[in-house]
Amino acid sequence: MSHFAAVEMVPGDPILGLSEAYVADTRPGKVNLGVGIYYDEQGRIPLLRAVREVEQALALEAKPRGYLPIDGLATYNVATQKLVFGEDSPLLAAGRVATAQTIGGSGALRIGADLLKQVLPIAKIAISNPSWENHRVVFGSAGFEVLTYAYYDAATHGLDFPGMLADLGKLEPGTVVLLHACCHNPTGVDLNAEQWQQVVELVKERKLLPFIDMAYQGFDVGIDADATAVRLFAASGIEAFIVANSYSKSFSLYGERVGALSVVGKDRDEAARVLSLVKRTIRSNYSSPSTHGGALVSGVLNSTELKAMWEQELAEMRERIHAMRAGMVEKLAAAGAPQFAFIQEQAGMFSYSGLTKAQVDRLREEYAIYAVGTGRICVAALNRANLDTVVNAVAAVSR
Ligand code: PMP
């Protein structure tokens, strides 16, 4: 008998399963809105010009591939800190932030989870209801009990802010609170600055530990505006918090696995001690991050010219998403479905469309349009060529 005889089949990721079904679909004009990827107007994953410039220069240099330090490329980490906390951040000036390059935003979440488990072994974590499904998986497998707090209000397709405050207010001191900085996945529903300020005050009063996941910085309004939550926590006097950020979307570098974990400590000394523990945690996991993606991001962020080019390209991506949201709402209204106006209020790549599981099934079966069973659609997969198809199908299944 094999040592693995007792292993049972684990259910696959439903979203990846959806993509497989999409690929196998032979109907012309099929559309995949199930993904979590930004596509350009031609339906392609963009390779940003700024990234290409760095990549070509790196290819010409043809440097040997040694290991990076455990915490990654120093130039990457410093540039990341400025982007996440702001150029003039007093926290950075005070040396209170420990940052490590990680294997994507997912790696930052996992290293952050493993770090917290060592420091606060009995703490629980609360995530939004709903949240990115991997939040539960990552923190659960790191040994956390995962609680939820109210977030999405299905009736308004917006934020249940009173419910959120009430639930956060009930958490025990020391509970970790996972917050989406912007472009909430899967709902597209975000807090405004005043609401963030109230959350910051509540978190401070209840002595909770904020863990901010920022996977879409620059995908809604801009680099600084989308980091409002981080900046408000930084200014709050709260001594410790964590930020996981990802460049997968903002640099269109999904497979390069580029992200970072930043831990804010009380002072320089605390940050240095935390960094030593972050490094041990990484060392015991994957040892050190990958070189190429880090070099690309660092190359862009550390060149004034390329950074400006990237910011322009990032702006083009978010403007295209805004245009698709506006176009979808306008065309749906014209097709007799004005109830989708809220799609324009939501932010980022995703929208909780309010479509039911049965409607999503009909979209797939009758119209070859793929969406997640929860009704989540990727607005960033729409373009002028597929928008009418999608709108007509959504209007038809909504009648
Ligand atoms: N957090 C959220 C909310 C996400 O949506 C994603 C990506 N889907 C991640 C983290 C992980 O990012 P990465 O692909 O860089 O691991």
Residue 13 has pLDDT above 90, yes or no: no
Could you give all domains of the chain from N- to C-terminal order, each with its CATH number?
14-46+316-398 (3.90.1150.10), 69-302 (3.40.640.10)
Residue 225 has pLDDT above 90, yes or no: yes
Which residue numbers are catalytic?
132, 213, 249
d(CA 221, CA 111): 29
Question: pLDDT band at 319, cuts 50/70/90?
Answer: very high
Q: Write down the pLDDT at residue 16.
A: 80
Q: Which of 134, 183, 254, 290 to mutate to test the pocket of ligand 1 (most atoms within 8 A of CB)?
A: 134
DSSP β-bridge partners for residue 31 = 369
Least confident stretch, 13-22, 25-34, 99-108, 361-370: 13-22
| Cβ 270 vs Cβ 109: under 8 Å | no
Q: Which of 248, 249, 372 to mutate to test the pocket of ligand 1 (most atoms within 8 A of CB)?
A: 248
Question: pLDDT band at 32, cuts 50/70/90?
Answer: very high
Residue 163 has pLDDT above 90, yes or no: yes
Q: Write down the pLDDT at residue 262.
A: 98
Question: pLDDT band at 280, cuts 50/70/90?
Answer: very high
Q: Write down the pLDDT at residue 103.
A: 98
Residue 22 has pLDDT above 90, yes or no: yes
Q: Write down the pLDDT at residue 358.
A: 97
- State whether the beta carbon of 293 lies less than 6 angstroms from ligand 1: no
Give the residue-averaged pLDDT of 258-286: 98
Angle of helix 74-85 relative to helix 291-301, nearest 10 degrees, comes to: 50
Q: What is the pLDDT of residues 229-249, one digit of tens each?
A: 999 999 999 999 999 999 999
The token pair that represents 344 in the structure block: 């324009």
- State whether the beta carbon of 217 lies less than 6 angstroms from ligand 1: no
Q: What is the pLDDT of residues 191-206, one digit of tens each?
A: 999 999 999 999 999 9
pLDDT above 70 covers what percent of the chain?
A: 100
Give the residue-averaged pLDDT of 334-345: 96
Q: How far, in Å, is the centroid of ligand 1 from the Cα of 108?
A: 10
Q: Write down the pLDDT at residue 269.
A: 98
| Cβ 191 vs Cβ 348: under 8 Å | no
Q: Whose CA is nearest to atom 8 of ligand 1?
A: 36
Give the residue-averaged pLDDT of 257-264: 98
Q: How far, in Å, is the centroid of ligand 1 from the Cα of 36?
A: 9
Give the residue-averaged pLDDT of 105-115: 98
Give the residue-averaged pLDDT of 69-81: 98
Q: Write down the pLDDT at residue 15.
A: 79
If one counts every other C-beta atom within 10 angstroms of the C-beta of residue 235, the result is 14
Interface confidence: ipTM more than 0.90: yes
The pTM of the full predicted model, rounded to 2 decimals, is 0.97
Residue 14 has pLDDT above 80, yes or no: no
Give the residue-averaged pLDDT of 149-178: 97
Give the residue-averaged pLDDT of 297-307: 98
User: What HEC string does the chain produce?
Assistant: CCCCCCCCCCCCCHHHHHHHHHHHCCCCCCEECCCCCCCCCCCCCCCCHHHHHHHHHHHHHCCCCCCCCCCCCHHHHHHHHHHHHCCCCHHHHCCCEEEEEEEHHHHHHHHHHHHHHHHCCCCCEEEEECCCHHHHHHHHHCCCCEEEEECEECCCCEECHHHHHHHHHCCCCCCEEEEECCCCCCCCCCCCHHHHHHHHHHHHHCCCEEEEEECCCCCCCCCCHHHHHHHHHHHCCCCCEEEEEECCCCCCCHHHCEEEEEEECCCHHHHHHHHHHHHHHHHCCCCCCCHHHHHHHHHHHCCHHHHHHHHHHHHHHHHHHHHHHHHHHHHHHHCCCHHHHHHHCCCCCEEECCCCHHHHHHHHHHHCEECCCCCEEEHHHCCCCCHHHHHHHHHHHCC
Residue 12 has pLDDT above 90, yes or no: no
Average pLDDT over the chain reads: 97
Q: What is the pLDDT of residues 120-144, one digit of tens each?
A: 999 999 999 999 999 999 999 999 9
Question: pLDDT band at 33, cuts 50/70/90?
Answer: very high
- State whether the beta carbon of 187 lies less than 6 angstroms from ligand 1: no
